[in-house]
């Protein structure tokens, strides 16, 4: 007799004769599904690798190996928003690129620097931007989505998996990471060639066309007695790793503490401890520390949109200063000329 | 644990597999343990509150059955009061307190009582109502009390419907825990299909619309005109897809294991009147209020004025059930008002139709009524979604004003999202339309595997690729 199915209104429909028993179907259906996940994942990786904007765009440019900068700027959001490579390039006369990424900590920045060196010829100089909380040990991956297309890069994968073990699942099980970290949308946008204008970067620099916001007032209200940023072994180790890498590769390293709004500096209770640590570590590697926290820019609210980040105007002024100083630095260092 | 979390992706197959591997006598234990684990994934300590409610109602039901007359009633009242007390403390205390504080401030008195710092236990209103329906049914003599404490606990805690319903009646669910359920391929696939449909509604439509709706309703005073209208319509679809999606996943999960839960939604936005809407929206709650509030108040077998009062009161309570905020109370009252106005204006509307020669079954008339019902429902949703009465008032007074603001000026919601969500909504409407004409599955099952399976895979990949899985909560969890 022909197999049939009854609908809700009692009508009988002939059912397609099953190709195999239900046990076989229970095995085959998910098996085929899982197999199909791989080509879908490959397609999405391709899409993500085509993204140009945001952290993922910067990461893609590093992995593609087509930058070959002579001056490389590394750091977190304060690097991304503060250093305009176009201005620095004009002053120093050297090809400059900013590989800073929002929300990244020193260990992630070290991993990207290593990845950069594997895909490019080494730069002459690395500018490593520092933050008040740079020496705090990393306790997670702030923007995991950016790594979904680059998990085959050993340094990046190691940095991510050392923070979150589940990156192992992301690497070996298709689509899990993409789905969980919301990487599908940028991947499809990458495939379709759609870019978000707000994410556009210029040689890695992202200008912030903003005026002073209420963020700092809120922060001050929440932390009236100030804050204390930890100086951890993990943070020190990561900074030391950057310095060792540059020393080993013969790259000049300049540590820069870019402008921070003056009122905010007063709120950091252990500021001297943090700066002592920066200086003592830098001295051990004979790396200069350029501290712009006492520069007039740091006292000018018009240059900032919050206590930690310069706006476009502030970033231009700061980049001019760094560019000039760098040109002099090059002039006074015969090895760099 | 959220249905749209990776934990559930492991939890569900493991529990289901164990369920079918275990002998029938041990299954209730497995389900109870699984339900405890499911609930404790939110705030573990809150299981104690659930335990208190379960113990009170379990004991009360036995004594309601044992005693008669005044004592029987006393046990019922005691059970209802103590169950509701939990609800009042955790859900309504801060609301009542804030209002008393405002009143004292207005009069110029000092009001020293501080707000409680509790988090609302997930799904408290749902399992409280399920517990209440059990004791009331025992009191009414429709049901014998369940003596097996484990089975009774499972009735309250059954994980698919524990945190957001459907609010089951004991007559429908309790006996199912005693019935042996065999593995049935058709039933399992039908349950999985329903779950997939639920995930499609939740992850592809509701969560994507949420980005847009939250962007507008988070700062409504920055907008006016069409943006507010669009955000409200988007919210109407968001809440429908969110909640009916949850219900589909819950019913599907239960169906895979052989349990039949009640239907909770039946294309509510296709309703041609508000009365019909409430027969199609959150059916398990609407029928709960009908059976345990509206009918005991006298229903419609009372003088007309009292009937209207009963309707209004029932909907105000329903609004309060949804949340401890004046916006919810007003939303409930507005729905009650719609119903009353519908009854009052019925003769006038019939006269207009007669005069215009419009047949009620005419397509144009049906469309007009559906559109009006949808518009009224959307207007009420403004109060439901607004964070404060001031926000609601701004929207109500500004949605008709012209505005030059771009329609999709919300961070995180681009034209890409709009295209996906519109396409998914078209799929949803088409799916529901086909479902209404006859079940889709029998039609699909007529197709040979080489055509059918690629369709299934395409649907699953569509959910995976275009869904958002950042563990966003279901809206109704907060209730």
Strand order in the sheet with A252-257: A96-98, A71-74, A125-130, A252-257, A289-291
Rounded to two decimals, what is the model's pTM?
Answer: 0.81
The pLDDT tens digits for A243-258 are 999 999 999 999 999 9
DSSP letter at A62?
H
For chain B, count helices (H), then strands (E): 20, 0
Specify whether the CB–CB gap between B380 and B338 falls below 8 A. Answer: yes
Contacts of B445 in chain A (CB under 8 A): 5, 13, 15-16
Per-residue pLDDT, B360: 65
Residue B135's CB is within 10 A of a number of other CB atoms, namely 24
Per-residue pLDDT, A279: 92
Q: In this structure, what token pair is assigned to residue B38?
A: 């499911």
Q: Can you give the length of chain B in residues?
A: 479
Preceding omega of B404 cis (within 30 degrees of 0): no
Residue B253: which of B178, B168, B191, B201 has the closest Cα?
B191
**Would residue B322 show up in a list of annotated catalytic residues for this protein?**
yes
Cα separation of B255 and B190, whole Å?
8
Per-residue pLDDT, B95: 84
Residue A104: which of A113, A91, A95 has the closest Cα?
A113
Residue B13's CB is within 10 A of a number of other CB atoms, namely 12
Cα separation of B345 and B271, whole Å?
18
Residue B15: which of B130, B158, B148 has the closest Cα?
B158
Instruction: Find where tokens 């928003």 sit.
Output: A81
- In the beta sheet, which residues pair with residue A96? A71
Residue B160: which of B259, B287, B280 has the closest Cα?
B259
Contact A29 B185 (CB under 8 A): no
Residues of A with CB under 8 A from a CB of B: 5-9, 11, 13-16, 18-19, 22, 25-26, 29, 32-33, 36, 40, 44, 175-176, 179-180, 182, 184-185, 188-189, 194, 196
Cα separation of B405 and B226, whole Å?
9
Residue B19: which of B200, B190, B180 has the closest Cα?
B180
Q: Give all strands (DSSP E) within B72-179, no chain letters.
A: none
**What is the least distance, in Å, from the CA of B475 to any CA of chain A?**
20
Burial class (CB in 10 A: 0-12, 13-18, 19+), A271: middle
**What is the least distance, in Å, from the CA of A125 to any CA of chain B?**
37
Cα separation of A48 and A190, whole Å?
6
Per-residue pLDDT, A264: 87
**What is the least distance, in Å, from the CA of B468 to any CA of chain A?**
7
A10-14, A63-67, A176-180, B385-389: the lowest-pLDDT one: A10-14
Beta strand A4-6 with A252-257 is unpaired
- Stated as kind and residue range, the H or E segment containing A257 is strand A252-257
Residue A16's CB is within 10 A of a number of other CB atoms, namely 16
Contacts of A36 in chain B (CB under 8 A): 457, 461
Is residue A8 predicted with pLDDT exceeding 50? Answer: no
Cα separation of A23 and B291, whole Å?
44
Q: In this structure, what token pair is assigned to residue B329?
A: 């109370």
Per-residue pLDDT, B355: 83
Burial class (CB in 10 A: 0-12, 13-18, 19+), B389: middle
CA nearest to B457 within chain A: A33
Contacts of A10 in chain B (CB under 8 A): none
Contact B446 A13 (CB under 8 A): yes
Query: Count of alpha carbons within 13 Å of A221, Cβ hemisphere only?
Result: 5
Residue B270: which of B290, B244, B292 has the closest Cα?
B244
DSSP helix/strand/coil, A130 = strand
Beta strand A12-14 with A252-257 is unpaired
Specify whether the CB–CB gap between A160 and A167 falls below 8 A. Answer: yes
Contact A16 B447 (CB under 8 A): yes
Nearest to A16 among B185, B416, B448 (CB): B448
Instruction: Find where tokens 């395409």 sit.
Output: B458
Q: What angle do CA A232, A238, A242 make, to 5 degrees?
A: 145
**What is the least distance, in Å, from the CA of A278 to any CA of chain B?**
38
Interface predicted TM-score (ipTM): 0.71
Instruction: Find where tokens 């993409």 sit.
Output: A178
Mean pLDDT of the residues in chain A? 86
Contacts of B464 in chain A (CB under 8 A): 40, 175, 179, 184
Q: For chain B, 479 residues long, give each residue's pLDDT as a single digit of tens.
A: 888 888 888 999 999 999 999 998 899 999 999 999 999 988 888 889 889 889 999 999 999 988 888 889 999 999 999 988 988 888 888 888 888 888 888 888 887 777 777 777 778 888 889 999 999 999 999 989 999 999 999 999 999 998 877 899 999 999 999 988 888 888 888 899 899 999 999 999 999 999 999 988 988 888 878 889 999 999 999 999 999 999 999 999 999 999 999 999 988 998 989 999 999 999 999 999 999 999 999 888 889 889 999 999 999 999 998 888 899 999 999 999 999 999 998 888 888 878 877 776 777 778 888 999 999 999 999 999 998 889 999 998 888 887 777 777 777 788 888 899 999 999 999 888 888 777 777 777 788 888 888 999 999 999 988 888 875 655 555 55
Per-residue pLDDT, A15: 47
DSSP helix/strand/coil, A9 = coil
Contact A184 B465 (CB under 8 A): yes
């Amino acid at each position: 007799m022909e197999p049939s199915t009854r609908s809700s209104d009692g009508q009988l429909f002939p059912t397609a004769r099953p190709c195999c028993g239900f046990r076989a179907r229970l095995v085959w259906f998910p098996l085929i599904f899982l197999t199909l996940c791989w080509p879908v994942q490959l397609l999405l990786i391709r899409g993500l690798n085509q993204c140009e904007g945001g952290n993922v765009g910067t990461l893609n440019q590093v992995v593609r190996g087509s930058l070959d900068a002579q001056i490389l700027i590394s750091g977190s959001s304060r690097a991304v928003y503060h250093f305009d490579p176009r201005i620095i390039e004009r002053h120093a006369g050297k090809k400059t690129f900013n590989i800073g990424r929002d929300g990244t900590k020193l260990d992630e920045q070290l991993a990207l620097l290593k990845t950069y060196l594997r895909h490019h010829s080494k730069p002459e100089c690395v500018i490593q931007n520092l933050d008040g909380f740079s020496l705090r040990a990393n306790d997670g991956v702030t923007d995991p989505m950016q790594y979904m297309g680059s998990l085959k890069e050993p340094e990046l994968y190691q940095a991510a998996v050392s923070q979150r073990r589940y990156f192992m699942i992301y690497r070996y099980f298709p689509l899990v990471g993409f789905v969980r970290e919301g990487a599908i949308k940028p991947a499809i946008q990458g495939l379709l060639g759609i870019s978000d204008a707000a994410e556009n970067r210029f040689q890695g620099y992202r200008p912030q066309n903003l005026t002073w916001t209420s963020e700092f007032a809120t922060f001050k209200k929440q932390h009236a007695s100030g804050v204390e940023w930890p100086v951890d072994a993990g943070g020190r180790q990561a900074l030391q790793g950057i310095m060792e890498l540059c020393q080993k590769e013969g790259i000049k390293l300049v540590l820069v503490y870019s402008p921070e709004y003056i009122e905010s500096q007063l709120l950091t209770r252990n500021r001297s401890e943090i700066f002592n640590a920066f200086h003592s570590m830098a001295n051990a590697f004979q790396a200069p520390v350029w501290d712009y926290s006492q520069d007039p820019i740091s006292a000018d609210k018009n240059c900032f949109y919050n206590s930690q980040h310069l706006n476009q105007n502030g970033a231009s002024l700061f980049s001019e200063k760094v560019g000039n100083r760098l040109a002099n630095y090059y002039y006074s260092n015969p090895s760099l000329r | 644990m959220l249905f749209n979390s990776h934990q559930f992706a492991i939890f569900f197959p493991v529990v289901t597999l164990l369920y079918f591997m275990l002998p029938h006598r041990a299954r209730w234990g497995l389900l109870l343990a699984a339900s405890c684990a499911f609930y404790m994934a939110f705030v573990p300590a809150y299981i104690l509150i659930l335990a208190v409610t379960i113990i009170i109602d379990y004991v009360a039901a036995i004594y309601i059955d044992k005693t008669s007359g005044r004592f029987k009633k006393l046990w019922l009242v005691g059970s209802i009061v103590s169950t509701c007390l939990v609800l009042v403390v955790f859900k309504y205390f801060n609301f009542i307190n804030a209002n008393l504080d405002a009143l004292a401030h207005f009069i110029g008195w000092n009001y020293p009582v501080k707000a409680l710092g509790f988090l609302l236990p997930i799904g408290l209103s749902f399992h409280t109502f399920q517990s209440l329906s059990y004791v009331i049914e025992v009191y009414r003599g429709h049901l014998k009390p369940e003596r097996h404490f484990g089975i009774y606990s499972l009735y309250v805690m059954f994980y698919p419907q524990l945190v957001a319903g459907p609010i089951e009646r004991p007559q429908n669910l309790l006996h199912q825990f005693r019935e042996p359920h065999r593995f049935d391929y058709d039933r399992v696939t039908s349950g999985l299909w329903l779950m997939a449909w639920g995930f499609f509604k939740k992850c592809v439509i509701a969560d994507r619309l949420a980005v847009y709706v939250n962007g507008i309703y988070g700062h409504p005073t920055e907008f006016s005109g069409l943006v507010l209208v669009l955000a409200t319509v988007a919210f109407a679809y968001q809440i429908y897809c969110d909640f009916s999606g949850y219900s589909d996943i819950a019913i599907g999960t239960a169906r895979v294991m052989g349990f039949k839960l009640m239907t909770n939604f039946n294309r509510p936005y296709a309703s041609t009147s508000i009365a019909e809407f409430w027969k199609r929206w959150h059916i398990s709650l609407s029928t709960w209020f009908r059976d345990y509030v509206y009918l005991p108040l006298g229903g419609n077998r009372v003088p007309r004025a009292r009937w209207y009062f009963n309707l209004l009161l029932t909907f105000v309570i329903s609004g309060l059930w949804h949340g401890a905020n004046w916006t919810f109370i007003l939303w409930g009252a507005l729905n009650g008002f719609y119903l009353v106005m519908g009854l009052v204006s019925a003769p006038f509307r019939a006269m207009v139709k007669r005069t215009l020669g419009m047949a009620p079954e005419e397509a144009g008339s049906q469309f007009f009524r559906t559109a009006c019902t949808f518009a009224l429902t959307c207007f009420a949703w403004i109060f439901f979604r607004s964070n404060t009465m001031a926000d609601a008032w701004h929207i109500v007074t500004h949605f008709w004003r012209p505005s030059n603001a771009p329609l999709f000026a919300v961070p995180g919601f681009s034209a890409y999202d709009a295209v996906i969500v519109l396409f998914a909504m078209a799929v949803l409407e088409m799916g529901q339309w086909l479902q209404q004409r006859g079940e889709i599955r029998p039609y699909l099952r007529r197709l040979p595997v080489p055509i059918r399976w690629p369709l299934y895979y395409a649907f699953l990949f569509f959910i995976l690729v275009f869904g958002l899985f950042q563990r966003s909560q279901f809206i109704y969890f907060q209730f």
